[in-house]
Amino acid sequence: AQHIDELAKYLDPSRDLLLTYNGVRTLMSRYLLKRLDGTFFETPQYLWMRTAMGVAYAELKYGGDPITWSRRFYDLMSQLKLMPNSPTLYNAMTRLGQLSACFVVPIDDCLSRESDTNREDPECNFGIMDALRLAALIFQSGGGVGYNFGKLRPEGDIVRSTTGIASGPLSFMKLFDTLVDTIKQGGKRRGAQMGMLFWWHPDIERFITSKSGELKDVQLQNFNISVAIDDYFMQKALKGEDVYLVNPRECPCLYKTWGEEFVKCYEGCVEAIKAGKIRIWRRINAKELWDKIVKSAWDSGDPGLWNRDLANYINNEKLPGEVINATNPCSEESLYDFESCNLGSINLVKYVYDGRIDWDSLARDVQLAVRFLDDVIDVNKLPHDRLRKRVLETRRIGLGTNGLADTLIALGLRYDSPQALAVSNELASFIARMAVRASIELAREKGAYPAYKHGDWAEGVLPWTKHRERLEKFSSTVDKNSVEEYLKVLDAGYNDPRVRSVIDGATAVLRGYRALDGELSIDVSTIGIRNGSIMSIAPEGSRSLIAGVNSSIEPLFAIAYIRNLSIGKLIEYNYTALRLLMVTKTLDGVTRRFVEEYGILPRDHPLANLLRTAHEIHWKWHVYMQVTWAKWNDSGVSKTINMPSDTPIEDVEQAYRLAWLLNAFGITVYRDKSKSVQVIYTGVKS
């Protein structure tokens, strides 16, 4: 009780003033705890402290002082510098206590293993109904779920036990879709889901068009869908060669391997098909399949792509005998079965002063954020043994960023410029290196994650050196020009004196913490590391609202816009842009009316370039920005490549190809107004 008093005195109500109106509205609608009669139990400062205490409790286990850590975590959150993912804020110190934003749940090709213990099928460890039940429990606790439906036998295949006919992955996806309609997440928000399918699955064509054309706005509305591609498929598609679709039931090695081993397995299956040993489902030109994907994505935004080879290659955890087959709902985390995302984001805006970045404070706060996320793992209450076991085995965290667009504006750099790319590259690399340093120090103090000895970390390999190697050794051989063009743009940014003054001091700070590559590589292989994976760029949907900044690494969506959320219709202005317009006295009546109508500045406005918005920025710059952050990431980057509604289909094709080539973990495009209902609309007059 004495400690609680002490912490209560530490609360600083003046920090409530850091919140914007929409930030307060968001907190009140879902985050602040309420009594049964609906009255509030806490204020924003209580929320930060409750979360801080709940998480710092983990320190007790290691003989640490939870009070000191509570204060430090509180300071970080209450100053809006660190935003943990929503379930951490919802559930810290509550009975539910589930703190992760998302999970990947496997679906084996059987109905149930958990309730059919007599079953002796080695391919059945977690059946469809087991996954459905677990998904329900996860939604109840506020998390989202990603699945790969590709282990399920195709529609029309045999079912031996009943001598019936299988209904295929799509029909089972509908079951999960209905589940979400029924269970609202934690009573707070609707469950987010990712449904994936391998490109080689016999039902892939139906999957690709399952949310487009006539089915747009109708089917699978509680799913994002993505095709799991790999380098083998991409090369076949570029060359326009034929591929065979294969039944996973007859070739299970397909989902148990990646990279060269996968190619060996696939070619073996094709031999078996040609020899008539297993059934031919379909032979199809890979380019036709690719065009189908692109056409659907152009039409409705779905499916996205996820590069399974890249995700498995970059991932440093490497669990023996296991393959990463899916991502979480918004694809910022490529996860092993039963792993979870424990996300937190650093608000970059808080580290800009007078056109410079305060690298010292950023370094300190990144370390604290890593400790916070690592503590989350120890106090997290997960709804299933399999989740508990896996999460403690890999101790994966996902540190990301928020407010990049505001930060670039504050530095006077337009988003679609070489300078902005160079500064982003510097920020991303700095944060990644400091985060790895922090996790090494935690390993020294509390021990490495249990599966450490199997991973690439133990060999001193850093994820970003793998990104570079792949770009140089693989992508350059496929399309040298595109790779060189991107690298040239980045170089041009670094050569600008303005950029050099912004990044001045960053290397010295890293050196001070022994966080340059050589030192990190030695230390990670000798001391160990606390967390199997570390970085992740999430969409920051609600958290950017709470922090009052533009979300994640996205450009301004618009200067004025309407956001339709379940909590109501929010009319929003980007504060950084608005402030700048006021300070420079360039918001006259005509400009204001233009902004309210279209959400953007008139072309001839003096700030029109600096304040460019998502649809004014060419898709290539969106992709460049995404891959720049991906380079320093070991799990995934969630970003929407926003395109104007009149974008031709060829642009989507090029964007998808470029993303694969430049090492994006995945890609999602969205053409404005391509669906009948979208969350955000530009302008505030509609």
Instruction: Give the residues lining the site for ligand CDP (CB under 6 A).
Output: 85-86, 101-102, 143-144, 185, 189-192, 328-330, 332, 343, 538-543
Distances (CA, A) of 564 to 220, 369, 456, 572, 680: 20, 31, 44, 11, 6
Q: Which residue is nearest to ligand CDP (CB)?
A: 144
φ, ψ at 65 (rounded to 5°): -105, 105
Which residue in 59, 317, 332, 333 is the catalytic one? Answer: 332
197 - beta bridge partners? Answer: 227
Task: Report the number of secondary-structure helices (H) and strands (E) in the chain.
Answer: 27, 24
Minimum separation from the CB atom of position 636 to ligand CDP (A): 9
Closest approach of ligand CDP to the CB of residue 329, in Å: 4
Catalytic residue from among 247, 315, 316, 328:
328
Give me the least distance between CB of 414 and ligand CDP, in Å please: 25
Residue with smaller CB distance to ligand CDP, 185 or 574: 185
Least distance to ligand CDP, CB of residue 82, Å: 12
The DSSP secondary-structure symbol of 383 reads: S
- Which residue, 11 or 96, is less far from ligand CDP as judged by CB? 96
Is there a catalytic annotation at residue 328? Answer: yes
| Per-residue tokens: 130 | 């087991």
Please report, to the nearest 10 degrees, the dihedral formed by the alpha carbons of residues 104, 106, 112, 115 taken in order.
-50
Q: Which of 265, 269, 330, 341 is catalytic?
A: 330
Closest distance to ligand CDP from the beta carbon of 153 (Å)? 28
Q: Nearest-5° angle of CA 11, CA 50, CA 542?
A: 100
Instruction: Give the CA radius of gyration of the chain.
Output: 24
Q: Given the complex with ligand CDP, which of 141 and 647 has the nearer CB atom?
A: 141
Q: In angstroms, what is the minimal distance from the CB of 648 to ligand CDP?
A: 30
Per the listing, tokens 């020294």 go with: 444
Tell me whether residue 332 is one of the annotated catalytic residues. Answer: yes
Please report, to the nearest 10 degrees, the dihedral formed by the alpha carbons of residues 634, 640, 643, 644 taken in order. -160
Structure tokens at 421: 């790319």
Burial class (CB in 10 A: 0-12, 13-18, 19+), 585: exposed
Question: Minimum Å distance from CB 548 to ligand CDP?
Answer: 13
Q: Is residue 360 within 8 Å of 508, Cβ to Cβ?
A: no
- Catalytic residue status for 330: yes
Q: How far separated are the first and last CA of the chain, in Å rounded?
A: 53
Handedness of CA 198, 202, 208, 212 (dihedral sign): negative
Residue closer to ligand CDP by CB (options 190, 514) is 190
CA pair distance 178, 191, nearest whole angstrom: 11
Nearer to ligand CDP, 247 or 345 (CB): 345
For ligand CDP, give the closer residue by CB, 395 or 543: 543
Q: Which one, 532 or 636, has the nearer CB to ligand CDP?
A: 636
The nearer residue to ligand CDP, 85 or 439, going by C-beta atoms, is 85
Cβ contacts of 200 within 8 Å, gap of 6 or more: 233, 243, 244, 245, 246, 254, 266
Q: Which H, E and C letters describe 247-304, residue by residue?
A: CCCCCHHHHCCCHHHHHHHHHHHHHHHHCCCCCCCEEEEHHHHHHHHHHHHHHHCCCE
CA–CA dist 526, 478 (Å, integer)? 37
Smallest distance, ligand CDP to C-beta of residue 57, A: 21
Task: Provide the annotated active-site residues.
Answer: 328, 330, 332
